[in-house]
Structure 1
Amino acid sequence: MKRVVLIVMDSMGVGALPDAEKYGDKGADTFGHIVLENSNFEIPNLRELGLGNIPGVADGKLKIDEPVGDFGKIKELSIGKDTITGHWEITGLETKTPFKTYPDGFPKEFMEAFEKKIGVGCLGNYPASGTEIIEELGPEHEKTGKPIVYTSADSVFQIAANTDVIPLGRLYEICEAARKLLVGDWACGRVIARPYIMENGKRVRTSDRKDYAVSPSGETLLDKVKKTGKTVYAIGKISDIFNGQGVTQAVHTDNNMDGVNKTITALKQRFEGFIFTNLVDFDSKFGHRRDPIGYGQAIMEFDHRLPEIIMAMEDDDLLMICADHGNDPVHSGWDHTREYVPILVWGKKIKAGMDLGVRSSFADIGATIAEYLDAEPTHIGESFLKEIF
């Protein structure tokens, strides 16, 4: 009974790609800068898997003599540095034309059509930090009932609302209306519901975020595993990223540790197939908020839980850990950064300590998983299965 568990440490890049300067990301190094900013940074389990042995990672400070996992780093082939681009490439799709972005806000014609559709005007409509804009426009939103609209350097249309003002179900309806309109000349990669509540006088975003993505541009690894009759178990925002395509079972998560809990729950069930987990807090709570201390703490918390994941694995299970882009918490702005991502592999039967090198596409991960699960090959990517067995 073969299974692969792929855990995406959302945004944990390991150094700027050669073309990072084109994206305004020269010198970005999410993980390296976190190590520098955290004086008591201890991640014994990730080090044991080989994270510190990846060339260039943390200047070699975390290297050990005999890692039990296999390790490497991977370039992004696609044009972009966003969630959809990264996850789609992991599963075998290259994005050659970047998703349209809106650095000056969404067009007047679209906003008029959107407001007519939902029956109310909107606030904002400019690039902003999600936590900052709800503080800036929250009072007016709460007084008028108008939803807060904003974007970022990514192709996203984000709608924030106090759920005491706009109930969660209504917020989702508003997002669904936007999703239907954001096509053609108004194309956009994702619509994101960003609910918040008042807690001790502060505006706090909740875990009821929901992403409305465009469907993948072709068959992904998820489709190919599903066609074999095996399970594709999506944890966290994975199902949203793929618009449900190729998913046989999906569970929502409240935070990183809930994602770990649900990954362990999935491992304890009896099925063959693919468990695909996204741990979003690294990105949403710490990368975008430029909080290297919180990011470091979150990595240490995940590291502490790794033995539980490994203990739940069967003899033929493979564990892979990667990222989907960077989000350097000491970089300027509050957006993603164009970086290499790590790849760590562990299983009871692998050859330990293999250096997988610098690989040319995130899709090598999907190609390896497809081969291991006896699924059709992905569109792009070179499997490294023979290197680890």
Structure 2
Amino acid sequence: MSEYKYNRVFLIVMDSVGIGEAPDAADFNDIGANTLGHIAEHMNGLHMPHMAQLGLGLIGDIKGVEKTEHPLAYYGKMQEASNGKDTMTGHWEIMGLYIEKPFKVFPEGFPDELLQELERRSGRKIIGNKPASGTAILDELGKEHMETGALIVYTSADSVLQIAAHEDVVPLDELYSICETARELTLDPKYMVGRIIARPFVGEPGSFKRTPNRHDYALKPFGRTVMNGMKDSGLDVISIGKISDIYDGEGITSSRRTVSNMDGMDKVIETLGEEFTGLSFANLVDFDALYGHRRDPEGYGKALEEFDARLPEVFEKMKEDDLLIITADHGNDPVHHGTDHTREYVPLLVYSKKHKHTEQLPLADTFADIGATIADNFRTEKPEYGKSFLSRLQ
């Protein structure tokens, strides 16, 4: 007999796959948001037979996703308790933390007073200051940067401040030092930036190339997460995709980078074939980064169908005492106004080959119920927030 009810837990976060406006959507200007529902309408029906089998269609009305009478998984939805709708907030809450002050995003660029102070302390002018793709902004401003030595500052749809500089113009040590200054300045609650990124590049105008000398200045989680307790107890915590970045490496025992959703699924399937005891935690970011923010419901729908098509490989490799949890971290409705995340419920599907029957789980009032359940299963330190649903799983 195994020491734990489930020896291995496979947690997959479908980044931004919300399932309808949360009760407090109005506070976030997100009334009417429904990521899955609106994509399905746009596609004239989503073809996700395996998610349907698990019970996805029973959580909400999704055109094309049938409401099965015999779901393979326990199913339900979760409401975010924290005051934010970004990736870090959602993920930190999943692992038992509660974020009262949201990380800020800067769709109009950063405030003048912040950049003026950064200019004063770095002794360099700043150009850019807008959301942009890293390669596009080099094409646009790289030449000016080389001529003037001004720093290229830009952001994305996430809570990040990125500083790009040519390695021959701003030596790496200087760039890193400027980023450390930016990190220090943006800890001020009025800025609350999740991550500073040094983005060095080389080459000539027209053929600039980013180098591997990127450096991230993240925030460590403000408290211990369920993963810290697991690692301290000698269990495995495997990060797949950007999980390690989101928690700044805290509580993680091994990390695997991914280049796409499908690569992420390859890595999940690889870990299914490995011997370990603990958690495999994957984030599939393409839904959010490539389709949600870009307001591309067609691309988003196809990506959901591609994800669904990989699930049989997961089921096939699962052992009797494995647990699969599929959820999301926020919404990002590609037919909603703007380009930002949306405040939504997220789906919760919980599957194991050993389950004898399944049912609807009560509405979770925090994402932390997942972390609490994982901690309960491995008998590790309980998070401050969240209620375990382990005893319901039969």
Higher alpha-carbon deviation: 345-354 or 324-333: 345-354
Equivalent AA in structure 2 for residue 307 of structure 1: P
Aligned to 1:300: 305
Pairing 1:25–2:30 present:
yes
Aligned to 2:75: 71
Pairing 1:386–2:394 present:
no
**1:270–1:359 Cα change, 3 Å:** same
CA distance in 1, matches of 2:357, 2:141: 57
SS of the equivalent of 2:350 reads: strand
Pairing 1:277–2:282 present:
yes
Higher alpha-carbon deviation: 335-344 or 109-118: 109-118
- What aligned pairs does 1:238-387 form with structure 2 within 5 A after superposition? 238-387=243-392
Q: TM-score normalized by structure 1?
A: 0.87
Aligned to 2:142: 141
Pairing 1:86–2:90 present:
yes
- Any conservation in 1 of the 2:332–2:342 contact (CA below 8 Å)? yes
Aligned to 1:222: 227
Q: CA deviation at 1:22?
A: 1.3
CA distance in 1, matches of 2:165, 2:308: 34
- Any conservation in 2 of the 1:157–1:192 contact (CA below 8 Å)? yes
Select which of 234, 243, 257 maps to 2:239: 234
Aligned to 2:110: 106
Higher alpha-carbon deviation: 321-330 or 147-156: 147-156
CA distance in 2, matches of 1:231, 1:346: 20
Q: Is there any run of 5+ residues in structure 2 with no aligned partner, and where?
A: none
Number of aligned residues: 383
Equivalent AA in structure 1 for residue 114 of structure 2: F
Return the index of the structure with the highest Cα Rg: 2
Aligned to 2:52: 47
CA distance in 2, matches of 1:207, 1:304: 33
**1:100–1:336 Cα change, 3 Å:** closer
Q: CA deviation at 1:269?
A: 1.5
CA distance in 2, matches of 1:162, 1:347: 51
SS of the equivalent of 2:347 reads: strand
Q: CA deviation at 1:330?
A: 0.4
Q: TM-score normalized by structure 2?
A: 0.86
- Any conservation in 1 of the 2:46–2:63 contact (CA below 8 Å)? no
CA distance in 2, matches of 1:170, 1:65: 62
CA distance in 1, matches of 2:316, 2:245: 29
Identity of aligned residues (%): 50
Q: CA deviation at 1:60?
A: 8.8
Q: Is there any run of 5+ residues in structure 1 with no aligned partner, and where?
A: none
Aligned to 1:35: 40
Pairing 1:57–2:76 present:
no
**1:103–1:256 Cα change, 3 Å:** closer
CA distance in 1, matches of 2:362, 2:56: 12
Q: CA deviation at 1:218?
A: 0.7
Q: CA deviation at 1:309?
A: 1.6
Aligned to 1:96: 100
Equivalent AA in structure 2 for residue 125 of structure 1: N
CA distance in 2, matches of 1:190, 1:298: 27
